[in-house]
Structure 1
């Protein structure tokens, strides 16, 4: 009788790591589409920001049509119409990627229900985003609706980040019930990183709703003080930086899986760059290029924070197979014994 190979978990408890039948690794096409889904969800945030920052939010004054009589922009609408209609067309690119993703995992849906569910949810998020975009047009770019439109994009970016992580799991990782990479001391800090990142983004949306870039010269603002909201916005940012410092100290002080260290370093880099852009745009009175970069930074911050939380808490994390890790440890111990 052939025995399953056994590998240690992060908690030190042996688990079986032999691939079970019916649990295939995601194909290269699925992996590529998962990455494309994440990239497209980030890209549409950036193009949506371009619409707002160029005051093209009502370039197409109707929805779902561009004008009462035309589905597309007309020459009389000028550049603003082209920019707004171009952003609408990118929705179809995102939809094509989402449909391709669902189609690619369809035959493996019984073995990989995780990929199938995430793909379907991401696909369903596209019409939800389109409808919310239509409501923003109908309400004349109400800043709270516009903010909700942005927040929904952040939720989709989180789901796409999880999808990328799940698509990179190998068969051995799919069946190995390892403990979380983060220990009990670190897990609350990682949870705090996720919450503080979300708070920073939400308050940033409120700051935007009080600022000058409304998406149209006649659009209303939320009536809040931009200076006060900016001061409130930086509070979770300061706490986020502090939590990152403590988390980095703990992962370097104790023996921790390299995947968790790398994810924290990535989040740290994004936070620092985002902070520099944020302070610079504030003191330069919000030039549109820096505001656009700050919106891109918010998307990257959301993805990086989601990646840290997933890496720290999930029992199945992409990386070295448990079997390979065990073999490597065996080789190292034998080499040490020969010395």
Structure 2
């Protein structure tokens, strides 16, 4: 029979991509591999001899001791991914979401040992949150389009049908001519409304003239429609972004401008776009009333979560800088 030497077993132990702990039935850590050091910020040798609860958030330590006692009374394998919402504590006091498997182990007559395998699932949780957010955004967009079609386009078409029927039944030539002109104008207005909906779904300027001029065109429409002054300082970014990247940046700028117009309490915002150092940077800044960022960081009243998700979708990041009385700046940084 081929057996691994102690050194070979230790090398296998340390080569694991997951953190591995060996814990005694009394909760004392008996061994830790290198990955545990990476995850928790503890040198593995310093963990040996300490209670396992040093790796548990302080608020949960009392409950954990009870769970540990129950487990050692009835040791059994508990695989990862069993639906538990677990958090682990680093040496510096910070925590992270974790999946943890437990495997009881006893060699001959030796005392019970528990092998704990720990995996940091921060990225998986982030991706899951992003996926849920993307699905939510898609559904909200569908609902918005459905409402616009029903409340606007469908009503326009229903009115047109009635007018066309009246036109067919109208005997007086002058009345027919006047009604025909009304129908013609209604058809043009409905066509314009459909065109605006299509533009909102995907601005044609993005493909025709690029991101900078598309943002400039949107700024002009905002000024003309609302009187809100949008100053643009835009550089052509060429082929630094693909179509998906351009659309994401455009939507974030669009949302940030909408927030500035509705919530800033001022009548002016500045939009900047530049490409340098392998990055495309877009900013929307106003000098309005501002807000305390933590108060909205966990909510989506200003579309912040949606903007963050769009930025992350293309490998970028969103920075939000604001404070009461000194305005707001939304900054999008995307690798080109």
Same fold (TM over 0.5): no
Q: TM-score, normalised by structure 2?
A: 0.23
Structure with bigger helix share is 1
**Bigger share in strand:** 2
Q: Which has the larger radius of gyration?
A: 2
